[in-house]
């Protein structure tokens, strides 16, 4: 694939593989209409023509997804060259991945932080937030008591009731941290709109990551309690 140098000496612009016209990051060449290869460092936001903002129009995203699903579907390229058929397969696969990622707020921010190197795949900081240490300690004690009572064949009704109340408490905290996350989304989006420098962007990403870690910890607590109550 050829490329065209920019006037400023920056990274070369992409050129259409078919007509060599300077191409943008669109799905098709504006000059000849041919489907284009994916960018080397694909961005799910850019795939949908979106800025890297976290509060998005989800209905609009779904509409755009269906539009692109039709345009990029491999069935539209059955008479094209093998090269173009493979491009359509690549584009369709990337479309599905991008849509699954961006349609949910949590996966959206996780993707952004993974892409920026702030977060690593499959790793979250499993450490109790300082303000919850006492409540977490009491919850773990209740869980231990319930497990021991199960092993001893004791009556579990009172322990289950107490643990259920603690579960509701942490479910409420999970709702609160979800609301906080949306608030931090707004701060990030404002920074993007303002053209924030790298220092400010890193500051906002660190804040997003901290709230995500807290959310992950609380969500796991709620899930663990639910599993014990259902067992």
CB 145 within 8 A of CB 159: yes
pTM for this model (two decimals): 0.84
The token pair that represents 75 in the structure block: 């069935």
Q: Does domain 3-115 have CATH number 3.40.50.10680?
A: no
Reading the chain (231 residues) residue by residue, the pLDDT tens digits are: 333 333 333 345 689 999 999 877 789 999 999 999 998 888 999 999 999 999 999 999 999 999 999 999 999 999 999 999 999 999 999 999 999 999 999 999 999 999 999 988 765 566 778 888 888 888 888 888 888 887 877 777 888 888 888 889 999 999 999 999 999 999 999 999 999 999 999 999 999 999 999 999 999 999 988 888 887
Q: Quote helix, strand, coil % in the chain, to nearest 5.
A: 65, 5, 30
In whole angstroms, give the CA distance from residue 17 to residue 6.
17
Other C-beta atoms closer than 10 Å to the C-beta of 209 total: 19
Dihedral angle over CA of 122, 50, 60, 15, nearest 10 = -110
Domain boundaries, the chain: 3-115, 130-230
Element (H, E) at 4: strand 3-4
- Closest CA relative to residue 52, chosen from 208, 179, 162: 208
- Closest CA relative to residue 81, chosen from 13, 145, 35: 35
């Amino acid at each position: 694939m050829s490329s065209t140098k920019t006037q400023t000496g920056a990274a070369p612009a992409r050129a259409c593989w078919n007509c060599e016209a300077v191409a943008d990051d669109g799905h098709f060449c504006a000059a000849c209409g041919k489907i284009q290869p994916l960018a080397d460092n694909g961005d799910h936001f850019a795939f949908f023509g979106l800025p890297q903002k976290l509060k998005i129009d989800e209905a609009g995203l779904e509409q755009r997804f269906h539009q692109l699903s039709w345009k990029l579907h491999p069935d539209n390229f059955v008479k094209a060259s093998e090269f173009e058929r493979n491009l359509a397969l690549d584009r369709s696969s990337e479309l599905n991945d991008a849509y699954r990622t961006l349609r949910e707020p949590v996966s959206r921010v996780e993707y952004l932080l993974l892409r920026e190197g702030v977060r690593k795949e499959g790793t979250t900081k499993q450490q109790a937030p300082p303000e919850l240490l006492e409540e977490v300690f009491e919850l773990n004690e209740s869980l231990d008591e319930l497990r021991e009572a199960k092993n001893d064949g004791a009556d579990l009704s009172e322990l289950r009731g107490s643990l259920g109340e603690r579960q509701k408490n942490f479910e409420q905290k999970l709702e609160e941290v979800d609301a906080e996350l949306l608030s931090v989304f707004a701060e990030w989006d404002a920074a993007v709109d303002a053209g924030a420098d790298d220092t400010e962007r890193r500051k906002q990403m660190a804040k997003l990551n901290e709230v995500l870690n807290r959310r992950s910890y609380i969500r796991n607590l709620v899930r663990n309690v639910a599993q014990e109550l259902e067992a």
